[in-house]
């Protein structure tokens, strides 16, 4: 287990306060508040439809909050200019669920891409930097492969190399273990831990994989139906007496009590002639 105490608790890198989000008229996040400290691995955990991907999109300023605030590196993401957001994003790295590699570029060019856009380095220097990061994620030798030729694990590792090529202070992982076999998944978890230690970077991981979450987390935030059920260390979450948390940890489905009147209403809603 990795405790947050092993890393100096500095100013929060991320501060989320009372975040509310909607898709259309459906409330997806309801009063979500938490913070992430420097050098910490925060795992956001929850089942499908819990709102964790929406939360990630808000943290990345891809979606705007209806109410509440998100501060990253001390700046309110709802209030920054596009130039400042641009600068902030250069201090972040993101590894998307399916890698989101650019299909028209090979592995090396994918990793070089942020350097090419944000720096004035010469081509050879950029290639050396990209190859260094590919070494870190065990992708050396695969530089010339195209994304379509990569396995799921290789795509994720390449995406990780691209995410760290600008040496970010904050890393986001969306479902790093999804679709991977347990061995590859464990390798990726180890890689995340090594990166945190080597780069002193704060990491936010969104996942529904319990084993992975417990292996890498300093703290875990459990989301359910858009609400925070619990935030705490791995032990805090394991020992939580919240029934929903225990259901999630023990992979138990919840028995939903059906109201007969509501059930009939759902079946006949919007039907005419009844």
Interface positions with another protein (CB under 8 A): 57, 60, 62, 82-83, 85-87, 89-90, 92, 94, 96-98, 100-103, 113-114, 117-118, 172
Q: Please say which residue, 98 or 242, places its beta carbon nearer to another protein.
A: 98
What is the nearest approach in angstroms of another protein to the Cβ of residue 107?
Answer: 15
Residue 26 makes CB contacts below 8 A (sequence gap 6+) with none
Query: In the numeric block, which tokens belong to residue 265?
Result: 């209403």
What is the nearest approach in angstroms of another protein to the Cβ of residue 157?
Answer: 15
Q: Please say which residue, 90 or 233, places its beta carbon nearer to another protein.
A: 90
Q: Please say which residue, 34 or 172, places its beta carbon nearer to another protein.
A: 172
Q: Please say which residue, 153 or 168, places its beta carbon nearer to another protein.
A: 168
Q: How far apart are CA 274 and CA 114, in angstroms?
A: 60
Residue found under tokens 């590196």: 73
What is the nearest approach in angstroms of another protein to the Cβ of residue 265?
Answer: 24
Sign of CA dihedral 34, 68, 82, 94: positive
Q: Which helix (H) or strand (E) holds 42?
A: strand 41-45
What is the nearest approach in angstroms of another protein to the Cβ of residue 117?
Answer: 5
Q: Please say which residue, 7 or 133, places its beta carbon nearer to another protein.
A: 133
Q: How far apart are CA 159 and CA 153, in angstroms?
A: 10
What is the nearest approach in angstroms of another protein to the Cβ of residue 159?
Answer: 8
Q: How far apart are CA 204 and CA 232, in angstroms?
A: 14
Angle between helices 123-136 and 182-199 (to 10 degrees): 120
């Amino acid at each position: 287990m990795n405790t947050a105490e092993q890393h100096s608790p500095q100013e929060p890198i991320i501060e989320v306060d009372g975040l509310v989000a909607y898709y259309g008229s459906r409330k997806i996040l309801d009063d979500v508040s938490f913070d992430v400290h420097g050098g910490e691995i925060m795992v956001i955990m929850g089942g499908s439809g819990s709102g964790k991907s929406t939360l990630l999109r808000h943290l990345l300023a891809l979606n705007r909050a209806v109410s509440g605030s998100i501060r990253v590196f001390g700046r309110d993401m709802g209030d920054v200019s596009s130039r400042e957001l641009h600068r902030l994003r250069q201090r972040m790295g993101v590894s998307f669920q399916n890698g989101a590699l650019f299909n028209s570029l090979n592995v090396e060019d994918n990793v070089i891409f942020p350097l090419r856009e944000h720096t004035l380095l010469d081509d050879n220097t950029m290639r050396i930097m990209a190859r260094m990061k590919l070494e870190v994620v065990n992708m050396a030798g695969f530089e010339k492969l195209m994304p379509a030729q990569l396995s799921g694990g290789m795509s994720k590792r390449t995406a990780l190399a691209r995410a760290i090529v600008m040496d970010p202070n904050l890393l986001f992982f969306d479902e790093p273990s999804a679709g991977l076999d347990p061995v590859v998944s464990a390798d990726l978890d180890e890689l995340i831990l090594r990166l945190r230690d080597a780069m002193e970077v704060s990491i936010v991981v969104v996942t529904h994989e319990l084993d992975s979450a417990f292996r890498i987390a300093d703290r875990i935030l459990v989301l359910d139906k858009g609400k925070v059920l619990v935030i705490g260390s791995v032990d805090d979450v394991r020992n939580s007496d919240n029934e929903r948390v225990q259901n999630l940890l023990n992979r138990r489905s919840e028995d939903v009590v059906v109201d007969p009147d509501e059930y009939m209403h759902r079946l006949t809603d919007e039907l005419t002639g009844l």
